[in-house]
Every structure is written in structure tokens, then in C-alpha cells.
Amino acid sequence: MTKYFLLLLFCFVASFSAYPQEATGMVVTDTLYSKNLENNFGENPHRAVSVYLPPGYENSDQRYPVIYFLHGFTGDNKMMDYMSGLLDYAIAKHKIRPFILVIPDEKTTYDGSFYSNSGIFGNWEDFTAFDLVNYMDENFRTIANAASRGITGHSMGGYGALKIAMHYPDIFSSVYAISPGALTIVREYGPNTGTFKELSTVKTQEELNKTYFGKVMVAFGKSWSPNPDNPPFYCDFPFTYDGDELIVHEDVLEKWYANMPMHMIDDNLDNLKKLKAIKLDWGRNAGDRFTIMCSMFSQRLENVGIKHFAEEYIGTHVSDIYTEDGRIPNQVLPFFDNYLEFKAE
């Protein structure tokens, strides 16, 4: 009986070893210094960059398309720790052909750069579109043209992806914005909720840390209307309060509109038409500000004749995205598989 059991065990182990295992990619993390991010306000110009290289990368001379993934507010490049497994899964299940994905750390001391050229706090858009792309093309076997570059991101990252794609269709050919924020001023972003009234009473960073939307508005301000002469947060807001009286600062409001994709469409119509593919999605239960903003943005694109895809799905702002049955492997990556060029010219 013992010999028979050992024979069965040997056969089982041998058959298991012979069964082809799913290959996995590898993640490389490096630090990139950028002159575009030099500043006098304590933001670090040395940024971590995590790069996913597909299975077989190290044993071939093949070149690959690149997907640039922009993280959300308070996030950073460490989200690659769980993203890499999803990328392996998507490639193994043939949802996308092998590709490179990169996630830069663009978290700031105020939790999010909004991928914008602040000037005072760093030029994060230029860092992303130029420094990061150049770094990838110089250090990895990329297919170094716009047709083989896509840009995506979630929440703040979805905002950044749309904004950068609208500005640089000669660098990125396709964009997928996952539940993008900051598209326009609605709900908690505006004066008719408690956000700016609460913010008008906040005088220290410690007090600010007890809020959420207050922190987001400060990040907006540092990104779009910085003011080195206006402590404690060194930025201006479009709405302030004197007691219960609302004061609208139209000059600041115009600066915010100039950086919100809903209001950038007219000035970027030609660029939008150059993009090969545009998609955004949002969860039905993500909250009014997301469902309203995304729907408005999609309708505005439709009204000016910009072909795109827009999808409202059953979910929240964070659910059903980073799972094997979620949005990343089943919608986002197949979108890029369809629209990116996978062969070098």
C-alpha cells in the first residue's frame, strides 16, 4: 500500500510540474529627478516610478506599448503592488497583449498634485508628459510613438489623464478616465454646500487635516491658483465667506475653470479630434458630484461632435475596479488592447 501511495504521489507531482504555469511579469521601481518639479515649498523633485514589465521582457528584444496610469488623491506608485497581479491576470487571460505599465508617485505634501503646472509647487503636467515619457523611452524597450502610448487613471488620476491627453495628442493617442474628478464645479466643489464656509474658518494645517473636501479645495488651489503671498495655504480660492456672506472671486474662478476639463473643451477641440479613442466611466452610486460631472462632460463632448465612449456602471467610486472581475482587467485594458499599436514600425 505504501509503495502504491508513493507511486501515485510521484505521478501527481510530476504531472503538476509538467503543467504549464502562468508566467508573471516583474516590477522595477526607480527614482526620477525632475527640474520641472523644483520649487521653494518643500515638494520633493525626486519621484518614485514603478514600472510593470510583462512576462518574457527580460529574455527578448521585443518592444512594447506603454500605458501610463495616474493614481488618485492620497495615492502613490505603491499601488503597483496589487496592480501587477491584475496585469499578469489580464495578459494570461488574453484580455490584452503584453505591454508595459508605469505608475509615477505624484503625491504631494497636500496629498495630490492634480497633475497640473502649478509653477510655485512644481509643474506636474510637464513632469508627466515630458520627463516621465522620456525616462520610459530612454530606459525601457518601448514603442516610442503616440500610437503606442495610452494614458489612464482613477479619480484625480482620471482627471489628469483627460487633461494631459487633451493637451498632448501627439504624445498619447488614447485615454481612459476611470471615475474622473474635478471636471467642473458641482456639489461639494461649489459654494452652495458647506465646503468653503468650513474652509473659511480653517487657519492651520492641523485644522485642515480634520476635513476632507477642505483638503481637496486646498489641493485645487495650490494646483490652479497658487499664491506665495497668501499664507497659511499659499493659494487663493474662488469662494470665501465673510461671516455668512458669500464672496465670489471671479478672477480665481476663471483660473479654476481654465484647468477643469469641462471648460477646456472649446480651446482643445482640435486636439480632442486628434485622439484615436476617448472613454470615461463612473459608478452609479459614486455620489452626485461624480455622476453629474461625468454625464455633463460626456454630453458636452457629444454636443461638439467629439466621438467617445461613456459608461455608467453599477458600483461606487471605488468598488469593482481593482479586482479580476473589475474594470481594470475587463474594460480598461481591453480598451487599450483595441486602440494601441502593438507593433513597432
Residues 169 and 297 in one domain: yes
In a domain, 237, yes or no: yes
Q: How far is it between the farthest Cα atoms of the chain?
A: 89
Alpha helices, H only, 140-239: 156-167, 195-199, 205-208, 213-224
In a domain, 11, yes or no: no
Q: Exposed/middle/buried for 86, CB within 10 Å: 0-12, 13-18, 19+? A: buried
83's CB contacts (< 8 A; 6+ apart) are 52, 69, 101, 103, 322, 328
In the chain, the amino acid numbered 135 is Y
Q: Backbone phi, then psi, for 259, in 5-degree steps?
A: -110, 5
In a domain, 303, yes or no: yes
pLDDT of residue 13: 40
In a domain, 6, yes or no: no
The DSSP secondary structure of 236-255, one letter per residue, reads --SEEEETTEEEE-HHHHHH
Residues 246 and 116 in one domain: no
* Tens of each residue's pLDDT in the chain, 345 residues: 444 444 444 443 443 343 345 689 999 999 999 999 999 999 999 999 999 999 999 999 999 999 999 999 999 999 999 999 999 999 999 999 999 999 999 999 999 999 999 999 999 999 999 999 999 999 999 999 999 999 999 999 999 999 999 999 999 999 999 999 999 999 988 898 889 999 998 999 999 999 999 999 999 999 999 999 999 999 999 999 988 899 999 999 999 999 999 999 999 999 999 999 999 999 999 988 899 999 999 999 999 999 999 999 999 999 999 999 999 999 999 999 999 999 987
Alpha-carbon gap, residue 225 to 196, rounded angstroms: 15
In a domain, 141, yes or no: yes
In a domain, 345, yes or no: no
Do the bridges between strand 100-104 and strand 46-53 make them parallel or antiparallel, or are there none, so unpaired? antiparallel
Residues 174 and 195 in one domain: no
Residues 98 and 128 in one domain: yes
Residues 173 and 241 in one domain: no
Of 206, 232, 255, at which residue does a domain stop?
255
Residues 92 and 229 in one domain: no
| CATH code of the domain in which 311 resides | 3.40.50.1820
Of 255, 290, 313, at which residue does a domain stop?
255
pLDDT of residue 7: 41
Q: How many domains does the chain have?
A: 2
Residues 179 and 208 in one domain: no
Residues 324 and 311 in one domain: yes
Of 240, 255, 270, at which residue does a domain stop?
255
In a domain, 17, yes or no: no
Residues 221 and 299 in one domain: no
Residues 62 and 209 in one domain: no
In a domain, 100, yes or no: yes
Alpha-carbon gap, residue 56 to 141, rounded angstroms: 12
Q: Domain limits at 173? A: 26-184+261-339
Residues 276 and 171 in one domain: yes
pLDDT of residue 8: 40
Residues 47 and 30 in one domain: yes
